[in-house]
Amino acid sequence: MNFQIKNRFSGAIQFECELSAEIADKSYSLKLGFAVKKALSADADLADANLAGARNVPETNGSESAQSPEPEDRAERLRRRAERYRALHPEVPVVPALDAKILSILENGKGGLEMGTWHQCATTHCRGGWATTLAGPAGQELESKHGVQYAATMIYRASTGRVPHFFATNERALEDIREMAALQPETQP
């Protein structure tokens, strides 16, 4: 199947390639994603190209299979993301089972959750505040160097493989903490 990437202003063709029959049945977003990968490998100039809707296509071994190399299991995907982040940023402290620990504190009445402020007091924090607090002195050092939001972002990435929404409501944050705690075994790094 012939596929074209066009200029978003003039409509002129900026890159053209052949996509396999396997990809021809996929959504436009995936076809565009595969074409963008081909364009980048050909060093094509995609400045001003209309790339709206292009989906991130997984790395392949040369075939154009749309099967993701990432495991289907969400907990395993998150564990691998955290592992990759830690390899690149070994200086970031890791809090094993971070959301499970926050949930335990909240459910056992040992602390509170207030998403309207990073640190309300020694026992009430927002989600990001809990992350830097539970990381101990290393978390506090990271917070003083980068600020709470960025420090919490780094700790969450290293610990869980994802960054939660730090500006959610208390109810939504607690709902997500519960959901994520279920995916985080205590044996996590």
Work out the angle between the directed axes of helices 148-160 and 98-107 (0-180°, nearest 10): 110
Question: Domain-by-domain residue ranges, the chain?
Answer: 1-69, 74-181
Residues 169/115, Cβ–Cβ less than 8 Å: yes
The pTM score is: 0.63
Residue 13: what are its φ and ψ, rounded to 5°? -70, 125
Residue 36: what are its φ and ψ, rounded to 5°? -65, -45
Residues 154/98, Cβ–Cβ less than 8 Å: no
Sheet holding 124-125, edge to edge: 112-113, 124-125, 119-121
SS3 (DSSP) at 176: helix
Instruction: Tell me, rounded to whole angstroms, the distance of Cα 102 from its chain centroid.
Output: 20
Q: How far apart are CA 54 and CA 11, in angstroms?
A: 17
Adjacent-strand bridge partners of 14: none
Strand intervals (E) in 21-123: 112-113, 119-121
Q: How far apart are CA 185 and CA 167, in angstroms?
A: 26
> pLDDT by residue for the chain (189 residues), tens digit each?
999 999 888 989 999 999 998 888 888 888 998 999 898 888 888 888 888 778 776 554 344 444 444 456 888 889 999 999 999 999 999 999 999 999 999 999 999 999 999 999 999 999 999 999 999 999 999 999 999 999 999 999 999 999 999 999 999 999 999 999 998 866 444
